[in-house]
């Protein structure tokens, strides 16, 4: 006799072409491919945006953004931070001198300002719909990179309408 813990349920067979349920309505292939392309592009830039935003914050508060400080604040190794800083420099977003900190170029400062604005807008929207502040800050770290300019404009309109309603 087989002990009960040895028994297992055989999973059902996967559906075949004949008995497979109809797929949900799929967008046209070029449309769907375009959406995924956009997501991959955003994912690639998200890392640079996070680094640029942090470097700008460190420069604004302490006057210096050292790779060691960047690594600690992002919870990555020094080598990982150095690799990302090298990419920032290659993209023309930062400069660094040996044994000195990292500095943003004009393009890097512009990127950091855009990211910071986007971050604040996402946090403000999440708080406006009832998300606790700490959760809003944490969630915004991911959302901010994937929100289109059209969606950000809608967020801003919504928040502006909320302010106007509160003033009445």
User: Is residue 9 one of the residues assigned to a domain?
Assistant: no
User: Is residue 14 one of the residues assigned to a domain?
Assistant: no
CATH of the domain at 90: 1.10.10.10
Identify the pLDDT of residue 15.
64
More confident residue, 87 or 17: 87
Identify the pLDDT of residue 32.
79
Q: What is the pLDDT of residues 28-39, one digit of tens each?
A: 888 878 877 877
Rounded Cα gap, residues 72 and 30, in angstroms: 42
User: Is residue 5 one of the residues assigned to a domain?
Assistant: no
User: Is residue 120 one of the residues assigned to a domain?
Assistant: yes
Mean residue pLDDT of the chain comes to 86
Stretch among 17-21, 103-107, 108-112, 160-164 having the lowest mean pLDDT: 17-21
- Say what the pTM is: 0.74
Stretch among 11-25, 72-86, 110-124 having the lowest mean pLDDT: 11-25
User: Is residue 11 one of the residues assigned to a domain?
Assistant: no
User: Is residue 157 one of the residues assigned to a domain?
Assistant: yes
What the block records as the tokens of 99 is 């044994």
User: Is residue 40 one of the residues assigned to a domain?
Assistant: no
Q: 17: pLDDT confidence band, cut at 50, 70 and 90?
A: low
User: Is residue 7 one of the residues assigned to a domain?
Assistant: no
134 pLDDT higher than 90: yes
What the block records as the tokens of 64 is 């210096």
73 pLDDT higher than 80: yes
Rounded Cα gap, residues 146 and 144, in angstroms: 6
Q: How many domains does the chain have?
A: 1
Q: If DSSP codes are grouped into helix, strand and coil, which group holds residue 147?
A: coil
What the block records as the tokens of 17 is 């072409």
- For residue 51, the enclosing domain spans 45-167
Kindly report the backbone phi and psi dihedral angles of residue 159, in degrees, each rounded to the nearest multiple of 5, phi listed first. Answer: -65, -40
């Amino acid at each position: 006799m087989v002990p009960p813990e040895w028994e297992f349920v055989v999973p059902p067979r996967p559906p075949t072409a004949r008995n497979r349920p109809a797929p949900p309505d799929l967008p046209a292939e070029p449309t769907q491919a375009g959406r995924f392309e956009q997501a991959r592009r955003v994912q690639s830039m998200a890392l640079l945006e996070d680094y640029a935003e942090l470097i700008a914050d460190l420069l604004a508060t302490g006057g210096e953004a050292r790779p060691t400080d960047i690594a600690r604040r992002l919870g990555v190794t020094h080598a990982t931070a150095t690799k990302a800083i090298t990419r920032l420099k290659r993209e023309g977003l930062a400069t660094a001198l040996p044994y000195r900190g990292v500095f943003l170029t004009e393009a890097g400062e512009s990127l950091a300002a855009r990211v910071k604005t986007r971050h604040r807008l996402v946090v403000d929207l999440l708080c406006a719909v009832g998300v606790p502040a700490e959760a809003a800050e944490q969630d915004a770290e991911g959302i901010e990179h994937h929100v289109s300019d059209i969606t950000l404009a809608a967020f801003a309109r919504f928040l502006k309408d909320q302010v106007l309603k509160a003033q009445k």
